[in-house]
Chains A and B, each alone.
Chain A
Amino acid sequence: MAELVAQGLTVDLGGRPVLREVSFRLAPGEVVALVGPNGAGKSTLLRCLSGTLRPGAGEVRLGGVPVHRLPPAYRARRIAVVAQELPGGFDFPVVEVVAMGRYPYLGRWRREGPGDRAVVAAAMAATGVAHLAERPFTALSGGERQRVAIARALAQEPEWLLLDEPANHLDLHHQAELFDLLVRLSQERGLGVVAVLHDLNLAALYSRRILMLHGGRLLADGPPAAVLTPRLLREVYGDRLAVGRHPVLDRPLVALLPGTGPEAVTGPAGGLPAAGGIGTGRR
């Protein structure tokens, strides 16, 4: 179990600055949410953390060693990635897609042994895709693919799991299942989790720590209550958000304010703004 440390990460893509001097230190087993508006650099930061992208300046260290220097198979045993989309252009059955997570543990010629199969089965059971085992990956829905991708990453038995918008494609039930699972793995096995999230409430509910990126800079880094403040949210997302408290838990709850103003939304026509109301609404 090792710390994941980002130090002065600076990335330019196509001449455009994407990350600027981003530094932080993640303790083993931490569950961290990475939030920020579109184009803030979240996915780029995740690619740096996984060693996929080498930053122009600064570096990411895992247990003191720069991640881009780790041999690919060794790195894959310690860091697993769930990208936004696992391309579906192939007809492997689900169980074989998940079994690909065992690649970094297998020699050239060795087939998966009983131990590997047990890990694969456990990963599929944990993400609720065991019943899909024999189905072709290409025949799955978006949400099912997402859970298979997560099962494959868990089969790598990593110390760190990096997820790019894992809640995409998932209904609320499966979102809750997934994050319950991630928190449980963090507590029981010390799995560190870094998840890019658009849903600030998921971030507030499940992470102890939120990193907020804005324009490539790390604007805030702390517990949900310290990051999801009206002042910071206004700076990052504009004045469309209100912050309250979760009805049950001691966590912040972020609510979206429609641009048409409250009176238009609560109007007579079943809550829908009247025609022409979108442009004329009061901020």
Chain B
Amino acid sequence: MRTPGEKLRPLAFLPARLRTGLPVRPRPQTRPRTVLLLLAGALVAAAVVAAWVGPVPVPPRQILAGLLGQPVPAAVHSILWRIRLPRILLAVLVGGGLAVSGAALQGLLRNPLADPYLLGVSGGASVGAALALWLDLRWEWAGVGLVPILAFAGALAAVALIWGLSRTGGRVAASHLVLAGVAVGAVCAAVISYLQSVGDERLTKALLYWLAGGLGSATWQHLRLAAPYVLLGTAVLIYFARDLDLMLMGEEAAAQAGVNVEATKTWVWLGASLATAATVAVAGLIGFVGLVVPHILRLALGPSHRVLLPASALGGGLLLLVADTLGRSLWAPQELPVGILTGLMGGPFFLWLLRRELGRFSG
């Protein structure tokens, strides 16, 4: 922990009278409502830019006209409604879902380095997707191919398995969940490696592309598949926001302060799993959004989940939308899968975070 002296040293030139009484670390002065409004505004602005840029630019006036159903050129209408709009909404949905899940898990596990892929859904989803790619069936359900469906099923199966493995005597230890998630993830990774080594080139390439995570194939059907689960999961997490605040004091202290600890663990775990599973099913593995966004926002807003969770949903959507727009326009017409871009940005951030924060939570 920082001592007052350490923190105040830069002010040593001031007379002692002025130095004493300064707060050690001032409470974040930013008002939560302001930050939420700023995030929402930035999200709308980013969406306008994302709808605008591309091989065929659609200027804001046409975007507005197209959204309001006023006459626009048929090509513009098609680009807007069939390509850009679903992709924008999917980016916001996936980014928001991952970030809100990450924020809630970090609180539940009292670990700032928790990531929604800790849940084990990523491994399960990968195996499901690999299976679907290997089967290579021309099969559709409600306009969605086999890959998202099996990825979603695989993710849920992994979550159920991990939950079952971690449960002893009607209770679940948070540390068991993490360990079981790591174990299931390792098995899933082995299965993927095996499929890649025995599969033909087409399978290997398709799998690699899927694992990199991207929004290139976004359609309204994908949105329709994922949205209910992401929104439901997010609602569950926000419902438990106050309980998560108290859980930061430790499970025993939270229980003594009136929190139903077992119910909180169960529902937060399930809500985050459901939201994450749905995002992985439609967008593959997009790393670090769930880690980075809650963390930055926690620094700005403080730890209270009642603000942090909604802000993470907005911030995650914003980050992924910006990253995806950059990924498809920087090297146009080449498209960089957004998962690669977030990984490139998130890796260094993760290292910085490790060095800066790891000591603090162990206090």
Interface residues of A (CB under 8 A from B): 50, 52, 71-77, 79-81, 83, 86-93, 96, 100-101, 103-104, 106, 108, 134-136, 138-139, 152, 156
Cβ contacts under 8 Å, A50 to chain B: 256
Across the interface, B258 reaches (CB within 8 A) one of A52, A77, A86, A136, namely: A77
Cβ contacts under 8 Å, A86 to chain B: 249-250, 253
The reply to whether B304 and A101 contact each other, CB–CB distance below 8 Å, is: no
- Chain A residue at minimal CB-CB distance from B261: A72
Across the interface, B2 reaches (CB within 8 A) one of A90, A101, A134, A139, namely: A139
The reply to whether A156 and B257 contact each other, CB–CB distance below 8 Å, is: yes
21 contacts between A and B (CB under 8 A): A50-B256, A71-B260, A72-B259, A73-B260, A75-B258, A77-B258, A86-B253, A87-B253, A87-B363, A89-B362, A89-B363, A90-B110, A90-B249, A91-B303, A92-B245, A92-B303, A93-B27, A103-B242, A136-B27, A152-B257, A156-B258
Cβ contacts under 8 Å, B260 to chain A: 71-73
Cβ contacts under 8 Å, B27 to chain A: 93, 134-136
The reply to whether B304 and A96 contact each other, CB–CB distance below 8 Å, is: yes
- Chain B residue at minimal CB-CB distance from A139: B24
The reply to whether B252 and A90 contact each other, CB–CB distance below 8 Å, is: no
Assuming the contacts A83-B253, A89-B363, asked whether A73 and B242 have C-beta atoms less than 8 A apart, the reply is no
A-B contact count (CB 8 A): 92
Assuming the contacts A76-B256, A138-B360, A139-B24, asked whether A100 and B249 have C-beta atoms less than 8 A apart, the reply is yes
Assuming the contacts A89-B360, A91-B302, A135-B24, asked whether A72 and B246 have C-beta atoms less than 8 A apart, the reply is no
The reply to whether B24 and A80 contact each other, CB–CB distance below 8 Å, is: no
The reply to whether A104 and B258 contact each other, CB–CB distance below 8 Å, is: yes
Cβ contacts under 8 Å, A156 to chain B: 257-258
The reply to whether A136 and B248 contact each other, CB–CB distance below 8 Å, is: no
Chain B, range 224-256, C-beta contacts under 8 Å to A: 239, 242, 245-246, 248-250, 252-253, 255-256
Q: Is B56 an interface residue, CB under 8 A from the partner?
A: no
Across the interface, B25 reaches (CB within 8 A) one of A80, A101, A136, namely: A136
The reply to whether A89 and B258 contact each other, CB–CB distance below 8 Å, is: no
Q: Is B13 an interface residue, CB under 8 A from the partner?
A: no
Q: Is B348 an interface residue, CB under 8 A from the partner?
A: no
Chain B, range 253-279, C-beta contacts under 8 Å to A: 253, 255-261
- Per-residue 0/1 for B24-50: is the Cβ within 8 Å of any A Cβ (1 yes, 0 no)? 110100000000000000000000000
The reply to whether A87 and B258 contact each other, CB–CB distance below 8 Å, is: no
Query: How many residues from B make CB contacts under 8 Å with A?
Result: 31
The reply to whether A72 and B249 contact each other, CB–CB distance below 8 Å, is: no
Cβ contacts under 8 Å, B24 to chain A: 135-136, 139
Instruction: For the complex, give the distance between the alpha carbons of A80 and B1 in Å.
Output: 28
Assuming the contacts A136-B24, A136-B27, A139-B25, asked whether A87 and B256 have C-beta atoms less than 8 A apart, the reply is no
Identify whether the interface residues of B are mostly helix, strand, loop, or mixed.
loop
Identify whether the interface residues of A are mostly helix, strand, loop, or mixed.
mixed
Assuming the contacts A92-B302, A134-B27, A135-B24, asked whether A106 and B242 have C-beta atoms less than 8 A apart, the reply is yes
The reply to whether A138 and B363 contact each other, CB–CB distance below 8 Å, is: yes
Instruction: For the complex, give the distance between the alpha carbons of A83 and B341 in Å.
Output: 46
- Chain A residue at minimal CB-CB distance from B111: A89
The reply to whether A88 and B255 contact each other, CB–CB distance below 8 Å, is: no
Cβ contacts under 8 Å, B252 to chain A: 52, 83
The reply to whether B248 and A108 contact each other, CB–CB distance below 8 Å, is: no
Q: Is B361 an interface residue, CB under 8 A from the partner?
A: yes
Cβ contacts under 8 Å, A76 to chain B: 256-258
The reply to whether A89 and B259 contact each other, CB–CB distance below 8 Å, is: no
**Distance in Å from the Cβ of A141 to the closest Cβ of chain B?**
10
Chain B, range 1-35, C-beta contacts under 8 Å to A: 1-2, 4, 23-25, 27
- Chain A residue at minimal CB-CB distance from B25: A136
Instruction: For the complex, give the distance between the alpha carbons of A89 and B112 in Å.
Output: 10
Cβ contacts under 8 Å, B360 to chain A: 89, 138
Instruction: For the complex, give the distance between the alpha carbons of A175 and B44 in Å.
Output: 56
The reply to whether B249 and A138 contact each other, CB–CB distance below 8 Å, is: no
Instruction: For the complex, give the distance between the alpha carbons of A75 and B256 in Å.
Output: 8
Instruction: For the complex, give the distance between the alpha carbons of A156 and B259 in Å.
Output: 13
Instruction: For the complex, give the distance between the alpha carbons of A196 and B290 in Å.
Output: 43
Instruction: For the complex, give the distance between the alpha carbons of A90 and B362 in Å.
Output: 10
Cβ contacts under 8 Å, A83 to chain B: 252-253, 256
The reply to whether B361 and A81 contact each other, CB–CB distance below 8 Å, is: no
Cβ contacts under 8 Å, A80 to chain B: 256-257
Instruction: For the complex, give the distance between the alpha carbons of A109 and B46 in Å.
Output: 31
- Chain A residue at minimal CB-CB distance from B262: A72
Assuming the contacts A93-B27, A108-B239, A139-B25, asked whether A52 and B255 have C-beta atoms less than 8 A apart, the reply is yes
The reply to whether B249 and A87 contact each other, CB–CB distance below 8 Å, is: yes
**Distance in Å from the Cβ of B34 to the closest Cβ of chain A?**
17
Cβ contacts under 8 Å, B110 to chain A: 87, 89-90
Instruction: For the complex, give the distance between the alpha carbons of A52 and B250 in Å.
Output: 13
**Distance in Å from the Cβ of A190 to the closest Cβ of chain B?**
21
The reply to whether B248 and A89 contact each other, CB–CB distance below 8 Å, is: yes
**Distance in Å from the Cβ of B210 to the closest Cβ of chain A?**
37
The reply to whether A104 and B257 contact each other, CB–CB distance below 8 Å, is: yes
Instruction: For the complex, give the distance between the alpha carbons of A101 and B360 in Å.
Output: 24
Cβ contacts under 8 Å, A93 to chain B: 27, 302
- Chain A residue at minimal CB-CB distance from B245: A100
The reply to whether A108 and B242 contact each other, CB–CB distance below 8 Å, is: yes
**Distance in Å from the Cβ of B1 to the closest Cβ of chain A?**
6
Cβ contacts under 8 Å, A101 to chain B: 257
**Distance in Å from the Cβ of B12 to the closest Cβ of chain A?**
19
